[in-house]
């Protein structure tokens, strides 16, 4: 069932990081339940990852059990205005499914490369849209038991949710999204506009983990970093993008430590110059 000392670097968009003690790519709900029960029975920490597009795994890897929920666990359907999908579904694919059914709400997600599970976990968003307001309910596995939580129980706010604060670390396995009927042409036009914005502004030609930092109150991260003179700053194979300073991109060979050192340098300089604290938006997991 589990793979031992599994290399995780190739499961992330940054391509860095060490191994997992135990690894499984879950293909169905039962495998998620069994993985969580295995971790509980052996008192192992359990980490859930998706497509690794918003993830920095440290060079020492991740102790305990790592469960990946990705393509093998991807199924979706639409009934009236409700789109139900397992959390291995790509957000971009779900936005296109909604378009085919003339449903609006997921246009912002067309260019987000990650999966539904990570989106629900961090309340992912872009260009003024977020996943949280669309969620009607979620199916999850908690303490080895399948449960359902309603939207009112999920505590969505900017880039966070109850899943991040719940001590039992529940695993989201399916999400119901409530969308709004709209003309397909209007939906398609909005999606095309957002895709054009993304291509023109973001450094898609290099590996990255998306926006590195959360937006602090009353500031925008990219202009702040550029004003500090950090655009193009490089440590090892990690570089502040010269196209959009809110992104750290991979240039050549790199380690997780390169990215961590660059993140820490940016945080220090921005604090010293502007007294603004930058908090990572990317998830940082594992050991040095």
Nearest CA among 27, 35, 2 for reference residue 143: 35
Q: How many CA atoms lie within 13 A of 162 on its CB side?
A: 16
Percent over 90 (pLDDT), the chain: 93
Beta strand ranges found along 27-61 (DSSP E): 46-49, 55-57
Report the pLDDT value the prediction gives residue 123, as an integer from 0 to 100: 93
Of 31, 29, 24, nearest in space to 65 by CA:
24
Rounded Cα gap, residues 244 and 65, in angstroms: 35
Q: Give the ranges where 202-284 is alpha helix by DSSP (H).
A: 221-227, 256-274
Give start-end residues of each CATH 3.30.465.10 domain in the chain: 74-188
**What per-residue confidence (pLDDT) applies to 256?**
98
Q: Please say whether the beta carbons of 103 and 134 come within 8 A.
A: no
Angle in degrees, CA 160, 28, 151, rounded to 5: 30
pLDDT < 50 stretches in the chain: none
Q: Where in the chain is the domain with CATH 3.90.78.10?
A: 203-285
The rounded distance, in Å, linking the Cα atoms of 57 and 286 is 6
Give dist(CA 28, CA 86) in Å, integer.
Answer: 9
Q: Determine contact, residues 127/113, Cβ cutoff 8 Å.
A: no
Measured distance CA(286)–CA(66) in Å, rounded: 11
Domain covering 203-285 in this structure, CATH number: 3.90.78.10
Q: DSSP 3-state assignment of 167?
A: coil
What's this model's pTM, rounded to 2 decimal places?
0.93
Give Cα 256 distance to the centre of its chain.
17
Residue from 251, 271, 175, 173 nearest 14 by CA: 251
pLDDT reported for residue 154? 93
Q: Which residues are catalytic?
A: 159, 211, 281
pLDDT of residue 168: 85
CATH topology of domain 74-188: 3.30.465
What pLDDT, on a 0 to 100 scale, did the predictor assign at position 173? 98
Residues 6+ apart with CB under 8 A from 79: none
Burial label for 245, CB within 10 Å (0-12, 13-18, 19+), is buried
Fold of 3-71: 3.30.43
- pLDDT reported for residue 128: 86
């Amino acid at each position: 069932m589990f793979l031992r000392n599994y290399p995780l670097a190739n499961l992330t968009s940054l391509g860095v990081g060490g191994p997992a003690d135990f690894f499984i790519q879950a293909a169905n709900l039962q495998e998620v339940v069994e993985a969580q029960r295995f971790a509980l029975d052996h008192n192992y920490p359990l980490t859930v990852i998706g497509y690794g597009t918003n993830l920095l795994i440290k060079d020492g890897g991740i102790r305990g059990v790592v469960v990946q929920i990705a393509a093998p666990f991807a199924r979706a359907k639409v009934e009236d205005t409700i789109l139900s999908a397992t959390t291995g579904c790509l957000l971009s694919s779900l936005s296109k499914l909604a378009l085919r059914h003339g449903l609006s709400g997921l246009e912002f997600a067309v260019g987000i490369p990650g999966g539904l599970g990570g989106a629900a976990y961090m309340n992912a968003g872009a260009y003024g849209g977020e996943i949280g307001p669309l969620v009607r309910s979620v199916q999850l596995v908690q303490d080895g038991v399948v449960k359902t939580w309603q939207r009112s129980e999920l505590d969505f706010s900017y880039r966070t949710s109850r899943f991040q604060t719940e001590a039992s670390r529940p695993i989201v396995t399916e999400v119901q999204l409530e969308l709004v009927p709209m003309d397909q042409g209007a939906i398609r036009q909005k999606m095309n506009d957002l895709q054009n914005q993304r291509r023109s502004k973001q450094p898609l030609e290099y590996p990255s983990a998306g926006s590195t930092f959360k937006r602090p109150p009353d500031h925008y991260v990219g202009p702040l970093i550029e004003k500090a003179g950090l655009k193009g700053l490089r440590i090892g194979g990690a570089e502040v993008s010269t196209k959009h300073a809110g992104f750290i991109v991979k240039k050549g060979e790199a380690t997780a430590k390169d990215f961590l050192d660059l993140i820490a340098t940016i945080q220090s300089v921005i604090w010293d110059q502007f007294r603004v604290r930058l908090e990572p938006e990317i998830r940082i997991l594992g050991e040095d």
